[in-house]
Amino acid sequence: MNLNHKFASMLLAAAVCLTVSCKKNNADAVKTDNTAAIGKQLALDFYNSLSSGLNTVANNGIKAGSTSRLVTMAAYSCGQSVTTATNRSDIKGDTTITYLGNSIFTYMCNGYLNDGTTLDAYLQKDTLTTTEAGTGFRNVYKTTLNYDVRAVDSTYHHLKVNGETSTNRYISKLSGSTITSSDSVATSYTWTDIMANTSGPRNIFIGTIDYSTQIVDKSGADSQTYAYHGSLQLLADFKMKVTFIFANGTTKVYLVNVLTGETTLQS
């Protein structure tokens, strides 16, 4: 049996770091409705991470903590774990980039066959912190994920995913040791019975993923905070529905074409 490890890598890539640009206003000013831009970015970043593997802002494409390909399944027993640590630094120009993380990949036997001996599922727990430091700036990206992935057919091409991802992106500008401005985005995603088809040239996901995100922009004494939660519904034809749920019970729904970026207000 060969569980598709490419899918496991794409799950790690699903730890999406949003690249939302939010207007900096005085804390007492009326907040701008930026849900269209945020909804579009949620959909695009999420899709791109699933489609292109570990190639996000947070990890610069480094496959940190990813376990070896699942081609020697017989060498592992049910419940056995492979732990891979990441601890490295790169220097690019005046920027020092450090990667610190840990990945625990556990082989399981509670998938389609659920017989306690045949490897047909896995657990994946990953953490990664990427720090970029240079003259006048310091950026920190943190990602954690915890997934339970189980085959739901004898070919292992259809999988069910439960779990959660959390990301935290912090970007700051410095004058000496003083922070002059910063932007942070903290997002959590909850996967509940998401179905995936890994038999084709690209993975196809079906289901709804709940999200919660908070954005804080600071510039000098000015600060602006946005907090949203809702869902991402994965649709056919490269579409994704992004729903914002507000405190008063109202919703705002956008349909995003993840190939073109076209975003349409649905309701």
Calculate mean pLDDT across residues 120-134: 89
Calculate mean pLDDT across residues 90-107: 91
**pLDDT confidence of residue 254:** 97
Of 164, 243, 237, residue with least CA distance to 204? 237
Of 256, 224, 225, 214, residue with least CA distance to 40? 256
Residue 116: is its pLDDT beyond 60? yes
Cα–Cα distances (Å) from 239 to 46, 109, 195, 258, in that order, read 12, 34, 16, 6
Domain ranges for the chain: 5-265
Residue pLDDT, tens place only, 136-162: 999 998 888 888 888 898 888 888 889
Beta-carbon contacts of 200 under 8 Å, excluding residues fewer than 6 positions away, are none
Residue 30, token pair as written in the block: 């009326």
**pLDDT confidence of residue 136:** 93
**pLDDT confidence of residue 51:** 47
Q: What is the DSSP letter of 117?
A: S
Beta-carbon contacts of 62 under 8 Å, excluding residues fewer than 6 positions away, are 54, 86, 99, 130
Of 173, 217, 247, 187, residue with least CA distance to 27? 217
Calculate mean pLDDT across residues 132-139: 93
Span of 33-37, 128-132, 203-207, 233-237 with lowest mean pLDDT: 203-207
Chain-centre distance for alpha carbon 161: 14
Residue 221: is its pLDDT beyond 60? yes
Residue pLDDT, tens place only, 66-93: 333 333 344 578 898 888 898 999 999 9
Of 211, 250, 248, residue with least CA distance to 233? 211
Q: How confident is the model at residue 50 (pLDDT cuts 50, 70, 90)?
A: low
Q: What is the largest CA-CA distance in the chain?
A: 62
**pLDDT confidence of residue 200:** 66
Chain-centre distance for alpha carbon 222: 29
Residue 182: is its pLDDT beyond 90? yes
Residue 194: is its pLDDT beyond 70? yes
CA–CA distance, 183 with 203 (Å, rounded to integer): 32
Sequence-ordered strand ranges (E) for 7-157: 81-92, 95-108, 121-134, 137-151
Residue 166: is its pLDDT beyond 90? no
Residue 201: is its pLDDT beyond 70? no
Is there a contact between 42 and 18 (Cβ–Cβ < 8 Å)?
yes
Chain-centre distance for alpha carbon 103: 15
Span of 18-27, 200-209, 235-244 with lowest mean pLDDT: 18-27
More confident residue, 11 or 174: 174
Cα–Cα distances (Å) from 190 to 34, 89, 194, in that order, read 23, 31, 10
Residue 13: is its pLDDT beyond 50? no
Q: Is 148 exposed, middle or buried (0-12, 13-18, 19+ CB in 10 A)?
A: middle
